[in-house]
Structure 1
Amino acid sequence: MSTIAFLGLGRMGAPMARRLLGTGNDLIVWNRTVERTQPLVASGARAATTPAEAAAEADVVITMLADPAGLETVLFGADGVAGSIRPTACLVEMSTVGPAAVAALRERLPAGIGFVDAPVMGSVGPAANGELTVLAGGDVDRVEKLLGAFGRVVHCGGAGSGAARKLVLISAALAGVTLVGEVLALAQALGVPRDTALDGLAAGPLAASVQRIRSADSDFDVSLAAKDLTLATDAAALPQLTAARDWLRIAAAEGAAGQDLRSVVEHIHPA
């Protein structure tokens, strides 16, 4: 039996941590909002009061946080993981923070610490059901069985390669949704009924994006989607991804920041 520390119990982190309760390992959880640890503690996990406390006795430390700033604080801030992680432990970074942030944090970890970057594709439902796609780079062999609790593990290469592939795939998915939004705005301007347009698009190459817009089961904040595309546009100057990012920012500014990604379509309109 291993001891696993899981840090970050947001919409994705909480169901992912719950998956680990069935693996036979000892689970320690931490979250900035302490109340989020309580359901897992009631099911057999232990709660830590700080990231450092969580990491101190863990064989594997998993981070699932919202953004690079949050990851920086949890790893290297006061009472952070870096000050207490065991020299034989492995850090598994599952947040979507981009390859540049992953490379920077890897360089700052104590020597000898195992490292895997393993962001995921999928939303809350697949997270609860163990049906995510785990894009893993680095020392994957050390934790592949454990990562299998979350879904299908894809070996991407060296450290940082999982983070890079995640940005590529999530950028395509997000831009596809905003493209459908623009096409629906065009349909409205031309008098084509919305459902007629969606049905036609669902029969073509944008089928997955239409399915995402029509899904009532997904739960991915517009604000987090905008963050992900900002990571992409910071990495490369690409006009279409920039336009998609800007639509997400507009939707967030107009009150949809905490709503699911599909809501961005209602904020897309002709200039």
Structure 2
Amino acid sequence: MTTALPSLGFAGIGLMGLPMCKRLLAAGYPLTVWNRSPRKCDALLAAGARLASTPAQLCQEADIVLTCLADVAAVREVVFGAQGLASAGRAHQVLVDLSSVEPTATREMAAELAATCAMAWVDAPVSGGVQGAQAGTLAIMVGGEAEPLRRVRDVLLTLGERVTHMGGVGAGQVTKACNQMIVACNALVIAEAVALAERSGVDARLLAQALAGGFADSKPLQILAPQMAENRFTPVKWHVRTLLKDLDGAVKLSHEQGSATPVSGLAAQLMRLHGGKGHLDHDPATLVQLYRQKS
């Protein structure tokens, strides 16, 4: 006897949310979607998803609700705002937050949600970018209790190839902060290296190929270095503002924990400088422009 798949609700149809939802639909999950701008859901509706008019309606129609939102303010508004998820949540439902937000805020919201409607919270930020979301190869780092995670694991494995339970609520977000520290600092030093190669008369388009397989190799190197060297800044696969938000969150977390993050702090300053020049909504490949000297 085949067990029916749980019904899913998904809030936040952005760069990452859209390909995630396409994978969930392709896997056969009944899917209801909500987004502040409903037109972003059109492709999903054409593929068989249903549209909710409010987060509360989304929650009413789903066993598991997934959110993929920009920041803490957006998550809090969708969960606890007027006609938010919490107003319709019930025991035995699970909220899976795929957003990258602050661990302390995550723990506070999870406790508030449990007190409001007994709905479980699983924080499950992801790494792998739009390409990983499209291919279902995301790395997913999870915080939460074992039983809610058991109920949502198959859903997460539709989105990613690896799901790692890091501990209680908020542990996934701590892990994502560590991830973003490494990614952002890597992106900045790749930009420095590309600009140095160019200034020294070396074909920077060959840099990623030359370093492949060595200790300097990484996914960011293989993706960003060719884009930087070839000035391929579109289509935008992720945003400078996202990296900046996550770096600021990581530095704030380090202060809360009494830990030192001087390199990430400098990276945040450089990212803010770049964003202040009009690049917040641009791809991080544009970071190379910080280091190119004008003739």
Give the drift of 1:167: 0.8
| SS of aligned partner of 2:92 | coil
Change (3 A) 1:215 1:184: closer
Distance 1:154 1:177 in 2: 25
Q: Bigger shift: 20-29 or 179-188?
A: 179-188
Look up the match of 2:190: 180
List per-residue Cα deviations over 1:92-136 (Å, max 9, x = no partner): 011000211211111110343222110001111110111111111
Tell me what 2:222 maps to: 211
Cα displacement string for residues 160-212 of structure 1 (whole angstroms, at most 9, x for unaligned residues): 111111110121011011122234455566x3536289356556433214213
- 1-structure distance, mates of 2:270, 2:212: 22
Question: How do 1:146-225 and structure 2 match up within 5 A?
Answer: 146-151=155-160, 152-186=162-196, 191=200, 193=202, 195=204, 198=207, 202=212, 204-208=214-218, 209-214=220-225, 219-225=237-243
Amino acid at match of 2:109: L
CA distance in structure 1 between the aligned counterparts of 2:280 and 2:53, rounded to whole angstroms? 29
Shift of 1:3: 1.5
Which of the residues 133, 140, 146 maps onto 1:134?
Answer: 140
Pair 240,269 (structure 1): closer, same or farther in 2 beyond 3 Å: farther
Q: Is 1:247–2:270 an aligned residue pair?
A: yes
Report the CA distance between 1:15 and its aligned residue.
0.6
Instruction: Report the Cα distance in structure 2 between the residues aligned to 1:265 and 1:82, rounded to whole angstroms.
Output: 43
**Bigger shift: residues 223-232 or 198-207:** 198-207
Q: Residue 188 of structure 2 contacts residue 287 of structure 2 at CA under 8 Å; is this kept in 1?
A: yes
Structure 2 unaligned blocks of 5 or more: 228-234, 255-259
Q: Which sits farther off after the overlay, 157-166 or 88-97? A: 157-166
User: Does structure 2 retain, via aligned residues, the 8 Å contact 1:28–1:48?
Assistant: yes
- Please state how far the C-alpha of 1:253 moved relative to its aligned partner: 1.5
Q: Which runs of 5+ in 1 are unaligned?
A: none
The CA distance in 1 between the partners of 2:205 and 2:69, in whole Å, is: 39
Aligned to 2:288: 265
What is the letter of the counterpart of residue 116 of structure 1?
V
Q: After superposition, give the CA deviation of every residue in 1:120-154 in whole Å (9 maximum; x if it has no partner).
A: 01111110111111111213112101111101212
Tell me what 2:152 maps to: 143
> TM-score, length-normalised on structure 2?
0.84
- The percentage of counterpart residues that share the same residue type is 35
Q: Which residue of 2 aligns with 1:44?
A: 48
Q: Secondary structure at the match of 1:44?
A: coil
What corresponds to 1:231 in structure 2? 249
Shift of 1:46: 0.4
Report how many aligned residue pairs link the two structures: 269
Q: Is the partner of 2:114 in helix, strand or coil? A: coil
Q: 1:20 to 1:142 in 2, by over 3 A?
A: same
Greater shift, 133-142 or 210-219, is seen at 210-219
Q: Provide closer, same or farther for how the CA distance between residues 188 and 81 of structure 1 changes in structure 2, counting only shifts above 3 A.
A: same
- Structure 1 length as normaliser, TM-score? 0.91
- What root-mean-square deviation, in Å, do the aligned CA atoms of Structure 1 and Structure 2 show? 2.1
Q: Secondary structure at the match of 2:158?
A: coil
